[in-house]
A and B are shown apart, each in its own frame.
Chain A
């Protein structure tokens, strides 16, 4: 008698159209076994092995016919295949929305409630929007802090297009398009979610493709305390608890003054945990008062109007929220990862 397990494995491989099954070590071992059989059993065993081989050949033939069949034209107007039935949908319970997009919705909801409209950022832009409109002079070393990908193709000024390294690339457009609101006595209040790109090697905590959420707010009489209050309110909504925030001076060419906003660790309430590296504080975003040159370039008079802007890395928010250990999971399309966010 042939080993049923081996026979099953070989047949299922043949069914998948695996031509190597005829030369497989498993099949060869059966022929080798034949030689060692006592002569009285040899004949019957030999017949069985040969029959198996013929059967495998037959399966292979039909499976290749089947694959031929799978390349024939089909009636694309039909709801299902002939002799088949209405396709069953996948189990709804296995469906999932990407965790970053799920969080994006939550963030946009919070800001919508606070009066911020939303618009998505671009994934390819020109040098002017990425840098010049944001008060980065041509060739300025500050540009080096944004490790930017550029294309071989050039824009109308003869400069390469850029893969934006920050969502601030949208600021000038949004200010331009909405400055009429200021004249109507309305603030400009926008959040801008989007993908940004940094020429950076990938590891546990670094990605070249990141998700960011930009915010801009411009009106008469906007001051630094309002920036801090707005961001504090947002963070408290997001984490659903009271938080302390503080600022660290920073430098961005497009804000003056510029800050890094630091919040009390929402996961341990300042008692110390791995998220805040036992400091009780987490650096969460960069922000500042919009530089007057940025307003001017958008046709807004900085003597009359002031505003603030910020950019927050949303991947980091999501990682901290769920305790995701490796940033590379986000763009991996790994179902083991994704299906945990049903």
Chain B
């Protein structure tokens, strides 16, 4: 909402300098987005009168003018076609900047010779003054005297303050200058009184019961159109607005059109109430009736409201053509022919233009939800939509309509040619009360407790009355607060608290921390786990990444996933962000190539995040949030370092071992369980080179290398592997298991076993470990670890283990361990056909 400080001052005294006022607006009304000092732009421009105007001796299209600038006569060469003696003009003297160029690339004027004639400065057009696009000739002024400061006479010695609209979502009244002025009075502690015409107290203005231009209103949508006021005016002369009005609109970035349209926009900016003017005769024609020639032929123009129907069509102001379905959109029709979208935009075929003689003014109220739906459905965002979608008060329409008609007649002539037709469905109670909501009862304590203040009843009453609330005090400290008719937002006691706090000043609240007892708050297991995982993995040289929670269908396909199982965004920004991801890994794989290309040869990236699938609902029937950890290791450098699987496994091992002790690995190709989300998680993995990780029988996740298809389409290096783990099984953290330290030294012995090449390592390891443990005396603690795996011919292999043994009550001799190893060799010979080497 843009407001002019000069216009503001017509309603309210401003105590402070503009920057202080702006700070106050920010603190007590809403964020100020911008402040523009117009006086800089119009500095030095002087009103002058053309005393003589003669053809330039050596240029056809130029004139040499002598002007009176209030001090002396000055010569200016001018090329405008409308330049003539006697004209009052805006003169830009040498040294002035052309206002239209002020914001970028300022052009400064000088005295120079034009075809042999010395010319000082220039006479400006409206477009050079930045007032409109009109550059057909110089601007002809309608006010002022030679020597006057142009900016001052035309109110351009002004500041324009732009207050953010969002703040006013619940304050329709602040979309009018009057509303903002009232607030500014309130925050300065001044009492505000609305002008009589707004309060409906304008006794001089009488509405006749004329039937000169017959007019009818039929409102078929009383629910969506609570009030519809219309009045006809005959004999107007449509022309450009006086300069002050054009400048008023230009300052707040509205485009002057003609006097009638400009007044409706001006009144909207004053009051927040959008208005629309129709050409009466075009309404007659469009509804198939003849223009009125004789007073006897009284065919009434009717304006109706109804919902849009299939096959309805309408050309809007500005030329856009709309066609409708059977929908909620409110149409204004005349004899059932659409002439406007109610509360949004008028139709082109009934537009007020230079030929218009008779008009109908509409001043209506529309349901904010309906206006919003229409605006969204048809992509129409007008000043009227901005205002109606905040819910304007239906109690201000008669006053605004009457004032608008008065202004129209003042500027465009004409007569009221019908009564003020007021079709409304308002409660008689609301109309009598002249307040939209019922009075609110609130105690002084209630207000003070919520603000942490100790205001007296008198002070609160004073604050509320300053912005025209009616307040009664009863039973000592109970306030009965009746909001004025333009306030739609005062419904409950808390709304009164907001009003008092804001106008009193939130910067005056007592700042104190809440008092709390010392009961500790609980930890959150999930957040703790995530935090630990981050430090574990980054400690192993991996880099945490965050990628979008949404992925493209294409990526899901590359990873072998079924996008039909993924939640689909219906208003996605792009196909790249169309699906909720089914697992984390595809997003990580998608980020490998860019980093390889950027020169990183070897790295591991991991992400902790949530994934979703249509098949998984939680207890509230909402999509279940599946918590996951995924990591990808990529290596372009060491192509001979063995399968990447083992590298990914090593990065995972620390995480799972520290929580579960040992884990069981089973080849992914053996995996049989059919579970939708698990199948999606496993989709990118190559089953021959991947494993399911188990804690006993509970799956923890998958580790492995990736399918050739994924690897090729995502340009992964040959040595790429990764894992994806469920976080839930890790939530319960285990303490490290501790055993007391022995006073005796332990001993170590290696054993090398030759087996068939294809015998899984786990079989050899477990066979050995079990044999050692089952045969060892009770006081022995045995640990088995692998130190080498070697194969010459890929038909057999040698696996070497290191066995360490420890006792808590004796020093061990190598005999004990040798005996155990001999026994184990025998056992493994029978069981696995393994040979001790």
A residues engaging B (CB < 8 A)? 15, 66-67, 70-87, 89-98, 100-101, 105, 108, 112, 115-120, 122-126, 139-142, 144-145, 149-153, 155-156, 160-161, 163, 185-187, 189, 193, 195, 197, 199-202, 208-209, 217, 219, 221-226, 228-230, 232-233, 246-251, 253, 256-257, 259-260, 283, 289, 291-292, 302, 306, 330-331, 333-336, 338-339, 342
For A124, give its contact among B166, B510, B580, B686 (CB under 8 Å): B580
Whether the Cβ atoms of A292 and B494 lie closer than 8 Å is yes
Whether the Cβ atoms of A151 and B502 lie closer than 8 Å is no
Whether the Cβ atoms of B544 and A76 lie closer than 8 Å is no
Complex Cα gap A225–B454 (Å): 13
Complex Cα gap A115–B513 (Å): 12
CB of B492 within 8 A of chain A? Answer: yes
- Taking CB atoms and an 8 Å cut-off, the chain B residues in 512-545 that contact chain A are 512-514, 516-517, 519, 521-524, 526-527, 530-531, 534-535, 537-545
Q: Please, which residues of chain B bring their CB within 8 A of the CB of A223?
A: 449-452, 509
Whether the Cβ atoms of A291 and B450 lie closer than 8 Å is no
Whether the Cβ atoms of A89 and B650 lie closer than 8 Å is yes
Q: Please, which residues of chain B bring their CB within 8 A of the CB of A77?
A: 665, 691, 760-763, 765
Whether the Cβ atoms of A226 and B452 lie closer than 8 Å is yes
What's the minimum C-beta distance from B86 to chain A, rounded to whole angstroms? 50
Complex Cα gap A224–B757 (Å): 74
Residue of chain B at shortest CB distance from A90: B541
Complex Cα gap A125–B373 (Å): 23
Complex Cα gap A339–B602 (Å): 13
Complex Cα gap A189–B513 (Å): 13
Query: How many residue pairs at the A-B interface have CB separations less than 8 Å?
Result: 330
Q: Which of A91, A209, A248 has the most CB of B within 10 A?
A: A248
For A225, give its contact among B510, B602, B757, B763 (CB under 8 Å): B510
Give me 20 other A-B pairs in contact (C-beta within 8 A), A75-B758, A101-B534, A117-B522 excluded: A74-B689, A75-B760, A78-B760, A79-B649, A82-B757, A95-B543, A139-B373, A141-B368, A141-B369, A208-B577, A221-B449, A224-B450, A226-B513, A248-B26, A248-B30, A251-B169, A256-B497, A292-B492, A333-B588, A335-B603
Whether the Cβ atoms of B28 and A149 lie closer than 8 Å is no
Residue of chain B at shortest CB distance from A226: B514
For B512, give its contact among A163, A200, A226, A331 (CB under 8 Å): A226
Would you give the 0/1 interface string for B801-837, flagging 1 where the beta carbon is closer than 8 Å to chain A? 0000000000000000000000000000000000000
Q: Please, which residues of chain A bring their CB within 8 A of the CB of B538?
A: 95-97, 342
Q: Which of B115-123, B285-293, B563-571 contacts A (4 or more CB under 8 A)?
A: B563-571
Residue of chain B at shortest CB distance from A72: B688
Whether the Cβ atoms of B510 and A331 lie closer than 8 Å is no
For B452, give its contact among A185, A187, A224, A291 (CB under 8 Å): A224
For B646, give its contact among A78, A149, A330, A335 (CB under 8 Å): A78
What's the minimum C-beta distance from A64 to chain B, rounded to whole angstroms? 11
15 pairs of residues in contact across A and B, judged by CB atoms under 8 Å: A84-B641, A92-B540, A93-B541, A151-B580, A153-B614, A163-B550, A200-B573, A208-B573, A230-B514, A246-B507, A247-B507, A249-B506, A253-B169, A291-B494, A334-B598
What's the minimum C-beta distance from A95 to chain B, rounded to whole angstroms? 4
Q: Please, which residues of chain A bring their CB within 8 A of the CB of B595?
A: 333-335
Complex Cα gap A118–B414 (Å): 69
Residue of chain B at shortest CB distance from A116: B521
- Tell me whether A331 and B498 are in contact in the complex, defined as CB-CB below 8 angstroms, given that A77-B762, A187-B516, A222-B514 are known contacts: no
Residue of chain A at shortest CB distance from B621: A156
- Tell me whether A139 and B492 are in contact in the complex, defined as CB-CB below 8 angstroms, given that A223-B450, A257-B497 are known contacts: no
For B622, give its contact among A126, A257, A259 (CB under 8 Å): A126
Complex Cα gap A37–B46 (Å): 86
Q: Please, which residues of chain A bring their CB within 8 A of the CB of B167?
A: 249-251
For A256, give its contact among B29, B498, B649, B786 (CB under 8 Å): B498
Whether the Cβ atoms of B569 and A80 lie closer than 8 Å is no
Q: Which of B148-156, B350-358, B767-775, B789-797 contacts A (4 or more CB under 8 A)?
A: B789-797
Q: Please, which residues of chain A bring their CB within 8 A of the CB of B510?
A: 225
Whether the Cβ atoms of A249 and B546 lie closer than 8 Å is no
Complex Cα gap A193–B389 (Å): 33
Whether the Cβ atoms of B516 and A115 lie closer than 8 Å is yes
What's the minimum C-beta distance from B576 to chain A, rounded to whole angstroms? 11
CB of B101 within 8 A of chain A? Answer: no
Q: Please, which residues of chain A bring their CB within 8 A of the CB of B604?
A: 90
What's the minimum C-beta distance from A135 to chain B, rounded to whole angstroms? 11
Q: Report the contact-size class of chain B (Cβ under 8 Å from the partner).
A: 35 or more
Residue of chain B at shortest CB distance from A232: B511
Complex Cα gap A342–B567 (Å): 35
Complex Cα gap A89–B542 (Å): 9
- Tell me whether A80 and B642 are in contact in the complex, defined as CB-CB below 8 angstroms, given that A223-B509, A335-B600 are known contacts: yes
For B569, give its contact among A100, A120, A163 (CB under 8 Å): A163
What's the minimum C-beta distance from B419 to chain A, rounded to whole angstroms? 34
Q: Which of A123, A197, A333 has the most CB of B within 10 A?
A: A333
Whether the Cβ atoms of B689 and A76 lie closer than 8 Å is yes
Complex Cα gap A77–B610 (Å): 29
Q: Which of A75, A149, A151 has the most CB of B within 10 A?
A: A75
- Tell me whether A150 and B450 are in contact in the complex, defined as CB-CB below 8 angstroms, given that A156-B621, A250-B166, A333-B605 are known contacts: no
- Taking CB atoms and an 8 Å cut-off, the chain B residues in 356-404 that contact chain A are 368-369, 372-373, 376, 389-390
Whether the Cβ atoms of A95 and B537 lie closer than 8 Å is yes
For B651, give its contact among A89, A140, A208, A333 (CB under 8 Å): A89
Complex Cα gap A221–B495 (Å): 18
Residue of chain B at shortest CB distance from A156: B621
CB of B415 within 8 A of chain A? Answer: no
What's the minimum C-beta distance from A150 to chain B, rounded to whole angstroms? 6
Q: Please, which residues of chain B bring their CB within 8 A of the CB of A259?
A: 506
Complex Cα gap A226–B666 (Å): 57
CB of B317 within 8 A of chain A? Answer: no
CB of B658 within 8 A of chain A? Answer: no
Whether the Cβ atoms of A105 and B27 lie closer than 8 Å is no
- Tell me whether A197 and B549 are in contact in the complex, defined as CB-CB below 8 angstroms, given that A71-B686, A75-B761 are known contacts: yes
What's the minimum C-beta distance from B299 to chain A, rounded to whole angstroms? 40
For A100, give its contact among B372, B512, B546 (CB under 8 Å): B546
Whether the Cβ atoms of B452 and A76 lie closer than 8 Å is no
Complex Cα gap A217–B145 (Å): 64
Q: Please, which residues of chain B bring their CB within 8 A of the CB of A100?
A: 546
For A333, give its contact among B542, B545, B708 (CB under 8 Å): B545
Residue of chain B at shortest CB distance from A307: B514
Q: Please, which residues of chain A bring their CB within 8 A of the CB of B612?
A: 123-124
Whether the Cβ atoms of B513 and A139 lie closer than 8 Å is no
Q: Please, which residues of chain B bring their CB within 8 A of the CB of A112?
A: 521
CB of B266 within 8 A of chain A? Answer: no
Whether the Cβ atoms of A124 and B514 lie closer than 8 Å is no
Q: Which 8 A-B pairs have the closest CB atoms?
A: A90-B541, A81-B642, A84-B642, A77-B762, A223-B452, A76-B691, A78-B761, A95-B538
Q: Please, which residues of chain B bring their CB within 8 A of the CB of A187?
A: 514, 516
Would you give the 0/1 interface string for B661-686, flagging 1 where the beta carbon is closer than 8 Å to chain A? 00001111100000000000000001
Residue of chain A at shortest CB distance from B500: A257
Q: Please, which residues of chain A bring their CB within 8 A of the CB of B758?
A: 75
Residue of chain B at shortest CB distance from A125: B622
Q: Please, which residues of chain B bring their CB within 8 A of the CB of A201?
A: 573
What's the minimum C-beta distance from B437 to chain A, rounded to whole angstroms? 15
Whether the Cβ atoms of A149 and B572 lie closer than 8 Å is yes
Whether the Cβ atoms of A225 and B546 lie closer than 8 Å is no
Whether the Cβ atoms of A224 and B600 lie closer than 8 Å is no
CB of B623 within 8 A of chain A? Answer: yes
What's the minimum C-beta distance from B118 to chain A, rounded to whole angstroms? 44
Q: Please, which residues of chain A bring their CB within 8 A of the CB of B530?
A: 101
Residue of chain A at shortest CB distance from B718: A70
Whether the Cβ atoms of B502 and A336 lie closer than 8 Å is no
Q: Please, which residues of chain A bring their CB within 8 A of the CB of B521?
A: 112, 115-117, 189
Q: Please, which residues of chain B bring their CB within 8 A of the CB of A125?
A: 622
CB of B625 within 8 A of chain A? Answer: yes
What's the minimum C-beta distance from B502 to chain A, rounded to whole angstroms? 5
Q: Which of B549, B651, B704 has the most CB of A within 10 A?
A: B549
Q: Please, which residues of chain B bring their CB within 8 A of the CB of A124?
A: 567, 580, 612, 622-623, 625
